[in-house]
Structure 1
Amino acid sequence: MSNICKDAVTESHPMNGGDGTYSYTKNSYFQKSATNVARCMIHNAVADKLDISQLFSNFATSSSNTFRIADLGCSIGPNTFTAMQNVQEAIQHKYRLSQSRPHNSSSSSSLAMPEFQVFFNDHVTNDFNTLFSSLAASERPYFTAGVPGSFHGRLFPSSSLHFVHSSLALHWLSTMPKELVDENSPAWNRSKVHYTNAPNEVYKAYEAQFGRDMAQFLEARAIELVVGGLMVLIMPAVPNNVPLSQMPLGVIYGLLGCVLMDLSKEGFISESEVDSFNLPVYVVSPKEMIGIIERNGCFSIEIIELYKPMSSVNNGEITPLTVTMHLRAAMEGIIIKHFGTEIIDELFHRIHKKMEELSNQLQPRTKEGTQLFLVLKRKSS
């Protein structure tokens, strides 16, 4: 395994900070829904897949009985707090069940409930002030620490984590492939901002970058997780052999590109600015993820499931406005970094209008799920 103690050289794409109108805090409704739907799935995964006797037996022979959990790509709340509460409650429940079984030895049955430490990780540009201000105002039954840095590199000491969680973060690429903005490359993404409906060379460039990113991610986590430790990954996904253009995200990304091109034709921005801008997001399929994990070789796939994150949400709550506000909270930072602030209000006003016209296309055209739930366990070798 290569030496990856230093952070990978990555680009930062923070969500909108603070708690204003366009903040992630006020516009992370879809992420909240995903967290709520995943709650039962996490409880079941811990109940069925976490070997409590293996992990907690180490506490009996150690001076520390701290169970360490990391949330990678935590953003600024409040969803990360809900997710961490779900994880902690699932582990506590599993522990109590293990202690109540009559076949437990006297040493294991007398083992005290472990203390919990939660590490909140995101890029150094993340609004940790808002994150920890919110946390300070709430009751929390665990110790906390902020860990700034890219999860595409090492963040923690070897064998120091027992549980890793990451929700709706791994689809962000660490960097954009250079060939996308090279006019001499077959992958030059002229007049588009994503691989949706782009030439196959563009898609392949995105695919290769995501593969490199996930390889680094898994390599780092393999070092940091204890043997038997679990990792729960929740990611936007496409069903096998279904193009992203048939999914709501593909429609939204394509729409963003069209509006930017309209603005360039009207002189708000230059066409070359659009040509050199690409969304650093890749939406994976289950088959792709299985291949990446198997190539790493350090994890067993305990659960892999495509599910519908919005299944518990009323259709009336998903409106063109809520989708636009969500997109702005997530993408405004990288758009401003590339185009400046002058076009932002006009851009999202037009996006909102376009979404009203195309609202029927924001529904999946497949009956399969649009989110991937993965549970991986660290192998012994």
Structure 2
Amino acid sequence: MEPSEAYPMKGGDGLHSYAKNSTFQGEIIDVAKEFINETIAEKLDIGALDSPKTFSIADLGCSVGPNTFTAVGNIVEAVKSKYQSQSPEFHVFFNDHISNDFNMLFASLPHDKQYYAAGVPGSFYGRIFPEASLHFVHSSSSLQWLSRVPKEVMIKNSSGWNKGRIHFTNSGDEVIRAYQAQHEKDMEKFLQARALEVVHGGLMVLIFAFKPNGAHPSQCLINLALDLVGSSLMDLVKKGIVDEEKVDSFNLPIFFMSPQEVEAAVERNGCFSIVRMEILLRRVQENNNGNGSFDHQLAANMRAGLEGIIRQNFGDNIIDELFDLYNKKMAEVFTPSMAESVKGLFVALERKS
């Protein structure tokens, strides 16, 4: 299997770190808590799991916290409630790419955690755990990252070349199809690996921003936000700060699935059943958490997620100016009402016997 490319979130706990700029992801996890509780209560078959003394949980794409700790804590509490007095011990595996800031992650582990913790570096598009070793898998705000940029969009002067753009939001059909094909390959690898790692009767919960069924990529708010990053880079090209060829050769490996695409991937794999699918509406807390307006929060979130990959391709010198431009564009384009359209998709899967 080809190695996956790594795109870690910004580590540390500084002003622009992911730890301090992942408000949207945290709000979606909070909303998903109710569905996780209900899914575990209704679908976790303790008998099928042979009453393990240790219940193993994996959070895939954990980044640096604090959201991963909230999600894991919710899962542990729900499983303890299911087991009641016969609750097992818990072993939680925090997974992300090798370049993730695991030092920051483990330095901020909750002091009152009710589980043993371990880090598992590696891409979740391949095997990262022993066979039939996991009882519950969770992944939030991670599966939109592809294992790599589609090769077709990198070939100069080809029909799929994505010249002048860094994403497929407003690109031609060939570019969109290339991203779609890469997504299908990656989801096949993801589900194949999890099918071997999750015990029969085990559960997997996937949470991510999504594209509505039948919608064009340009109709997805989060795609439009990505497109503005490309527009900001092209502004730097016009100023002579960034070389145009560098922009032409740079593409974001990000793809937001629709519910239908999730269903199709699960059906092709054949090892899981979808036991629940829900749209998650974030509870808007604008101006109540000290992070400012919606456009400011989203811009800060984008910087925390994209700064690393942009730095790799364009160097350190442009980062502040690029995101200053981006902040201005966000303020011009986005309205407060758009905050309500930031949604997540909750998908609960059960490993078939």
Both structures adopt the same fold (TM-score exceeding 0.5): yes
**Alpha-carbon contact 1:247-1:365 (below 8 Å) kept:** no
| Distance of 2:279 and 2:113 partners within structure 1 | 31
Return the match for 1:270 from 237, 240, 243. Answer: 243
Q: What amino acid does structure 2 have at the position aligned with 1:236?
A: A
Instruction: Establish whether residue 197 from structure 1 lines up as the match of residue 170 from structure 2.
Output: yes
Q: Which residue number corresponds to residue 218 of structure 2? A: 245
Shift of 1:210: 0.8
Moved over 6 A (4+): none
TM-score by length of 1: 0.88
Q: Which residue number corresponds to residue 330 of structure 2? A: 355
Instruction: Establish whether residue 188 from structure 1 lines up as the match of residue 161 from structure 2.
Output: yes
Q: Which residue number corresponds to residue 105 of structure 2? A: 131
| Distance of 2:64 and 2:163 partners within structure 1 | 34
**Alpha-carbon contact 2:162-2:248 (below 8 Å) kept:** yes
Return the match for 1:290 from 263, 284, 287. Answer: 263
TM-score by length of 2: 0.95
Return the match for 2:344 from 371, 374, 377. Answer: 371
**Alpha-carbon contact 1:15-1:75 (below 8 Å) kept:** yes
Instruction: Establish whether residue 141 from structure 1 lines up as the match of residue 129 from structure 2.
Output: no
**Alpha-carbon contact 1:246-1:365 (below 8 Å) kept:** no
Q: How does 1:1-381 map to 2 (within 5 A)?
A: 8-55=2-49, 57-59=50-52, 65-96=53-84, 112-135=86-109, 138-308=111-281, 310=282, 312-316=283-287, 318-360=293-335, 363=338, 370-380=343-353
**Alpha-carbon contact 2:274-2:347 (below 8 Å) kept:** yes
Cα pair distance change 1:67/1:365, threshold 3 Å: closer
Shift of 1:199: 0.3
| Distance of 1:274 and 1:21 partners within structure 2 | 27
Q: Which residue number corresponds to residue 105 of structure 1? A: none
**Alpha-carbon contact 1:71-1:120 (below 8 Å) kept:** yes
| Distance of 1:192 and 1:306 partners within structure 2 | 30
SS in 2 for 1:93: helix
SS in 1 for 2:95: strand
Q: Which residue number corresponds to residue 108 of structure 1? A: none
**Alpha-carbon contact 1:248-1:364 (below 8 Å) kept:** no
Cα pair distance change 1:326/1:90, threshold 3 Å: same
Q: Please list the CA deviations of residues 49-72 of structure 1 after superposition, one character each: whole Å capped at 9, or x if unmatched.
A: 1112222x343xxxxx10000000
| Distance of 1:323 and 1:375 partners within structure 2 | 27
Unaligned runs of 5+ in 2: none
Comparing 314-323 with 198-207, greater Cα deviation is found at 314-323
Q: Which residue number corresponds to residue 106 of structure 1? A: none
Q: What amino acid does structure 2 have at the position aligned with 1:95?
A: Y
Q: What amino acid does structure 2 have at the position aligned with 1:199?
A: G
Shift of 1:365: 9.4
SS in 2 for 1:336: helix
**Alpha-carbon contact 1:238-1:371 (below 8 Å) kept:** no
SS in 1 for 2:108: helix
Q: Please list the CA deviations of residues 243-302 of structure 1 after superposition, one character each: whole Å capped at 9, or x if unmatched.
A: 232222122111111111111111001111111111110011000110111000000110
Give % identity. 50
Shift of 1:324: 1.3
SS in 1 for 2:159: coil
Q: What amino acid does structure 2 have at the position aligned with 1:34?
A: I
Q: What amino acid does structure 2 have at the position aligned with 1:178?
A: K
Q: Please list the CA deviations of residues 8-57 of structure 1 after superposition, one character each: whole Å capped at 9, or x if unmatched.
A: 511000000100001011111111101101111100111111112222x3
**Alpha-carbon contact 1:248-1:361 (below 8 Å) kept:** no
Shift of 1:315: 4.4
Give aligned pairs, total. Answer: 349
Q: Please list the CA deviations of residues 55-112 of structure 1 after superposition, one character each: whole Å capped at 9, or x if unmatched.
A: 2x343xxxxx10000000000011100100000001111112xx6xxxxxxxxxxxx4
| Distance of 2:293 and 2:31 partners within structure 1 | 16
